[in-house]
Chain A
């Protein structure tokens, strides 16, 4: 039954990676902006949740949406103040700018919250494992799977079925024509960016319990976000989702079955997949 426990842990880990990284897939894929500071927004959400739960005594579950909102708001402000000026610039400028933001976020958080790891006081009933037909199921991880699963469905629906989704796709494909059709491209981009940051913030809040949270979060996990987006491709949401699941399960299984090289499995998978499909699992051919 250990196989299933490992599978379960892998799925939970993958789902978490997806929520953390899918905002980056949106900014990078849909908005064509390389935002290496993505992890900083995840960290912001994580710390928001820590402050709300530990200091203000709010229940964990009501803090999660607030973590989403606060990271989203920070994203919105930064987008209006800074990011929008770099939409037209080349990728190198964007990389330098956003990595700078990430470093500043690290130092600022170190100054404000201290460099030690912090922990969110999650409710006691989420702390233990339950036994389902001999499979050890962690309650917290089960919660992650449920929340992230619902979120994925909602995200897919928003992008594919809603008016906002089609406006966004139009604004990305041809901003000038979209403006001509009466779409407020600026507004669409700002909202999308903020939404991506909010998702990262939610991921940070959910992940703090499992991944730990300290001011180095944005740099420590940048590589994981990038792997998910690189393997998944940036043109859909399904791509990063499948990629995150594959990588999560691969990482956990690798560390369990071959612990000696376990830390390397995720990179090996990335290389293999990218050799096979250079634009990611669901990537279109590179016409852009």
Chain B
């Protein structure tokens, strides 16, 4: 975002706020509760995202208490079913009626973008815990992200592939913003390193049958295929990949780790074995911090946490730590200032918030799907990082 646009937004926000303040009063004063409006998809195709984030936040509050810096932290959960119109309406209701201090969650990119102008206008921090398109944090000076960006993982797997003898790659991505982000960043790094892309297919988002696209991949005879499809379709894709015999023809699957989400991995069956992906989190991450996290999560909810759960866990941690730093002051500007540059040890490894872009800086791990104790896991074997969002470095 340019400086002039920023100033303009601020002026507009100020004008709006003079009016708003007269109506609402000043909520930050003399309040002993900090309210977080959590907007996530709890129903619909993206529901697992919302459930993981909600679970992680509940778990965090169970383990760390719901009071911080003398303030009670109250989370108000709202379901937007990943529809941006809902997100916007819910964010508005939460800010105006519930007078929340922070809005958080946001399962998909359009939802995060829909709430951005409201965050700017009301000076309410928007903590993005899931959505992964690069541009999101540029849309408001009040957005902070604790999930990841697709370029982070896609560039790393591009570099890794070139260095590990993969020369020809066929690309298959879903045709929407995150897919295009993944495709472009992979392409830049893979081709930049001397690799060759022999086939490139963008699959419609609502695509029932991968057969014709997979046949195209097979006929292109690449060393590997780079895949990004939304988490829900990953299992379907891998099954058809095996059915068509692509595993036997030696075409490996590589990609950002969304396809191999811990949430779905076990259901995919042995089709997933051997897939190499780059991602920010695996339930098999070998740190003590993560072992404790996974054990507590399993005990509380009966399933293992995926990368969405970690995004939620770190999001609420960021809010707690920022409140500690401001001594309980919960106005947007103080919180954002406190969040910038903060760093801590997450279950995924060391992470920090880039003070300039308010985006997350983290390690990206290369992992391979293996069987551990009868279950499928993404076992990490190489670490890259710490990595800033490459999508913004270019500017």
Q: Which residues of chain A have a CB within 8 Å of any CB of chain B?
A: 2, 5-6, 9, 13, 107, 110, 114-119, 121, 127-129, 136, 138, 140-141, 209-212, 214, 216, 220-221, 224, 251-256, 259-260, 262-263
Residues of A within 8 A of B245 (CB): 128-129, 136
Shortest B104–chain A CB gap in Å is 21
Is B373 part of the binding interface, using a Cβ–Cβ cutoff of 8 Å?
A: no
CB pairs A–B below 8 angstroms (24 shown): A9-B211, A115-B44, A116-B47, A116-B48, A116-B232, A116-B264, A117-B264, A118-B267, A119-B267, A119-B268, A128-B243, A138-B244, A140-B243, A209-B239, A210-B211, A214-B232, A220-B206, A251-B209, A252-B212, A255-B212, A260-B202, A262-B212, A263-B203, A263-B204
* Complexed CA–CA distance, A210 and B235 (Å): 11
A148 vs chain B, min Cβ distance (A):
15
**B240 interfacial by beta-carbon distance below 8 Å:** yes
Identify which of residues 282-321 in chain B touch chain A, using a CB-to-CB cut-off of 8 Å: none
Closest Cβ–Cβ distance, residue A181 to chain B (whole Å):
44
B residues less than 8 Å from A221 (CB atoms): 208
Report the separation of the CA atoms of residues A259 and B235 in the bound assembly, to the nearest whole angstrom: 22
The reply to whether B211 and A13 form a contact with Cβ atoms under 8 Å apart is: yes
Stretch at the interface among B8-16, B67-75, B213-221, B252-260: B213-221
Contact of B236 among A128, A129, A136, A212 (CB under 8 A): A212
Asked if B207 is an interface residue, CB under 8 A from chain A, the answer is: yes
| Cβ B268 vs Cβ A110 within 8 A | no
A127 touches B242 (CB 8 A): yes
Report whether B47 and A110 are in contact in the complex, using a CB–CB cutoff of 8 Å: yes
Chain B's nearest CB lies how many Å from the CB of A6? Answer: 7
- Output the least CB separation between A176 and chain B (Å): 43
**A9 and B215 contact, Cβ closer than 8 Å, known pairs A115-B45, A116-B263, A214-B45:** yes
Once the chains are docked, how many angstroms separate the CA of A256 from the CA of B214?
Answer: 9
A111 (CB) vs chain B CBs: closest residue: B43
Give the size category of B's interface with A: 35 or more
Check B269 for interface membership: any CB of A closer than 8 A: yes
CA distance A256 to B320 in the complex (A): 51
User: Any chain A CB within 8 A of the CB of B201?
Assistant: yes
- Of A6, A110, A117, which contacts B43 at CB under 8 A? A110
Q: Is B334 an interface residue (CB 8 A)?
A: no
- The reply on B167 being an interface residue by CB < 8 A is no
Check B216 against A256 for contact (C-beta < 8 Å).
yes
Closest 4 CB pairs of A and B: A263-B204, A115-B47, A255-B212, A256-B212
Q: How far is the CB of B139 from chain A (nearest CB, A)?
A: 28
Residue among B201, B208, B264 making CB contact with A210, cutoff 8 Å: B208
> Would you call the interface of chain B mostly helix, strand, loop, or mixed?
helix
B233 located at the interface, meaning its Cβ lies under 8 Å from any Cβ of chain A in the complex = yes
Are B209's CB and A211's CB within 8 A?
yes
**A131 nearest CB neighbor, chain B only:** B245
CB distance from A183 to the nearest CB of B (A): 40
Whole-angstrom distance between the alpha carbons of A118 and B267 in the complex?
7
Say whether B243 contacts A138, CB under 8 Å.
yes
Q: Are A129 and B244 in contact (CB under 8 A)?
A: yes
In the assembled complex, the CB of B205 is this many whole angstroms from the nearest CB of chain A, namely 9
A225 smallest CB distance to B (angstroms): 12
Can you add 6 more A-B contacts, CB < 8 Å, to A2-B219, A115-B48, A252-B211?
A2-B215, A117-B264, A117-B267, A119-B269, A128-B243, A252-B209
Query: B212 is contacted by which of A129, A136, A253 (Cβ under 8 Å)?
Result: A253
The residues of B that contact A140 with a CB separation of less than 8 Å are 243
- Which residues on the A side are within 8 Å of B269 (C-beta)? 119, 121
Smallest beta-carbon distance A205→chain B, Å: 15
CB–CB B212/A6 < 8 A: yes
| Closest CB in chain B relative to A21 CB, distance in Å | 13
Chain B min CB distance to A283 (Å): 26
CA distance A253 to B206 in the complex (A): 17
Query: Considering the chains assembled together, what is the distance between the CA atoms of A255 and B206 in angstroms?
Result: 13
Q: Which of B44, B48, B207 contacts A263 (CB 8 A)?
A: B207
A210 touches B209 (CB 8 A): yes
A5 to B248, CA, bound (A): 17
Q: Is the CB of A259 within 8 A of B201?
A: yes
**Which A residue's beta carbon lies closest to that of B216?**
A256
User: Which B residues between 58 and 78 are near A, CB-CB below 8 angstroms?
Assistant: none
Task: Please report the C-alpha to C-alpha distance between residue A212 and residue B45 in the assembled complex, in whole angstroms.
Answer: 12
Closest Cβ of chain A to B217, distance in Å, is 10
A212 and B233 form a contact (CB under 8 A): yes
List B contacts of A118 (CB < 8 A).
267
Q: Which residues of A contact B235 (CB under 8 A)?
A: 117, 119, 212
A136 to B212, CA, bound (A): 12
Residues of chain B lying within 8 A (CB to CB) of residue A259 = 201-203, 212-213, 216
Instruction: Check A13 against B209 for contact (C-beta < 8 Å).
Output: yes
